[in-house]
Structure 1
Amino acid sequence: MIDGRLQRGERTRKAVLDAAVGLASVEGLEGLSLARLAQTLGVSKSGLFAHWPDKQALQLAIVEHAQQQWIEQIVEPALRAPAGVRRLLALHELRLAFYASGQLPGGCFFRAVDNEFDDRPGPVHDAIATAIDSWMSLLARLVGKAVELGQLRPGTDPHQLAFEIEALGAVVIVHTHLLQHEQSHEYARRAVLDRLRALATDPSILPEA
């Protein structure tokens, strides 16, 4: 019976966090409260307090859940691709596919919240910064591995290329949601593919288009 209650509690917690990440992708974190979530999900506010005692605890849990979604749906599948430039491309393509799926109505949780907290020191700022830095570090490591494998030209700067890939992924949110440019995903995919092919020692291991 106790295990059943724990399982139900965990299912409730996950459902709340799934909804919270989706709402925050549109509204940000500051406007999100236990009352707002309770209303959206049709549950009691008091029930949510059993999981998160205050707003900051909820915000930190949402950031952690959003990062875990990113890992499960983008990073882990990409890491199954062959190491080197194909893994880099897979990472970018899976990111764009996640955006295009509509799972998050605002497109990207981290693009919605980074501007809220970039100049506001504190635990939530640190959690967001750590998540984004972890992503950038992964990109740079994968670029470095591609150089080490001889698939990217010697002298390729991992941090520079990681920055370019990140910028081309992030801009899709603005162009898709604000400007309504339907071709943004394809432009972003093609731009990274062209960049990788230009730096690759053997461009034939990458698709031409």
Structure 2
Amino acid sequence: MSPRKSVAETAATRDRIIGSALALASAEGLEGLTIGRLAADLAMSKAGVIGHFGSKEALQLAVLDAAVERFTLRVPARAVGARPGTERLARTYDEWIAYMAEDEGHGGCFLTSVATEFDGRPGPVRDAVLAALGTWTAYVKAEIDTGIGACELPEDTDVDQLAFELGGVVLAAGQSIKLHRDPQAPDRARRAVARLLGAP
């Protein structure tokens, strides 16, 4: 076996482990992710699974990184073509709401679920969740500032408050979609976002 092929196969196996771990964690929580269950699902040994990461925590962080990448490609990346400001924000939140409502086995938004799971657990995973959410909040606030500058929002708009309220809409939508199975939740959430962004 050539070194190049070996490296490629190792990377492919690692990606396969992360993909399976993400699916499992989406259904049972990141803390519920066990090496034994993952090894059984992948028909691998426990040593073979953990050898790619070194520890369960490192695996959790890798899964979180994969979830952030998936979210980025699924939500803000699809809004890149929209006009900066309220149009882009509306498009971004529309994509996020659609993402939560999709039936892809991820059970709502993985990131918001993990944020709730680890909000009271200090450590590297919680720190990584905070960093990811901090990046998202900065993105939202920058678009709000752009909207204010373009006179799409009132000059005296409280940026922090608006970002907080938009986030609240998403959390409520996630619970209604995932827990209550409310088919009207996505439309309700979109109407709430539109109202907050000043749409007629």
Q: TM-score, normalised by structure 1?
A: 0.87
Q: Which runs of 4+ in 1 moved over 6 A?
A: none
Structure 1 residues not aligned, in runs of 5+? 204-209
Task: State the partner residue of 2:19.
Answer: 18
Task: State the partner residue of 2:124.
Answer: 123
Confirm or deny that 1:8 pairs with 2:9. yes
8 Å CA contact 1:143–1:158 kept in 2: the answer is yes
Root mean square deviation of aligned Cα:
1.7
Question: How many residues are treated as equivalent by the alignment?
Answer: 199
Task: State the partner residue of 1:161.
Answer: 162
8 Å CA contact 2:100–2:177 kept in 1: the answer is no
**Which secondary structure state, in structure 2, belongs to the residue aligned with residue 197 of structure 1?**
coil
Task: State the partner residue of 2:111.
Answer: 110
Q: Identity percentage over the alignment? A: 35
Q: Separation in 1 of the partners of 2:83 and 2:7?
A: 39
Confirm or deny that 1:84 pairs with 2:120. no
Give the stretch that moved more between structures: 129-138 or 103-112.
103-112
Give the CA deviation at 1:191.
1.0
Give the CA deviation at 1:187.
0.6
8 Å CA contact 2:101–2:177 kept in 1: the answer is no
8 Å CA contact 1:29–1:113 kept in 2: the answer is yes
Task: State the partner residue of 2:58.
Answer: 57
Give the CA deviation at 1:5.
2.5
Structure 2 residues not aligned, in runs of 5+? none
Q: Separation in 2 of the partners of 1:195 and 1:119?
A: 30
Task: State the partner residue of 2:146.
Answer: 145
Deviation track 1:56-111 (CA, whole Å, cap 9, x = no partner) reads 11111111111111111112221221111110001101111211222343212123
Task: State the partner residue of 2:39.
Answer: 38
Q: Separation in 2 of the partners of 1:9 and 1:189?
A: 43
Q: TM-score, normalised by structure 2?
A: 0.91
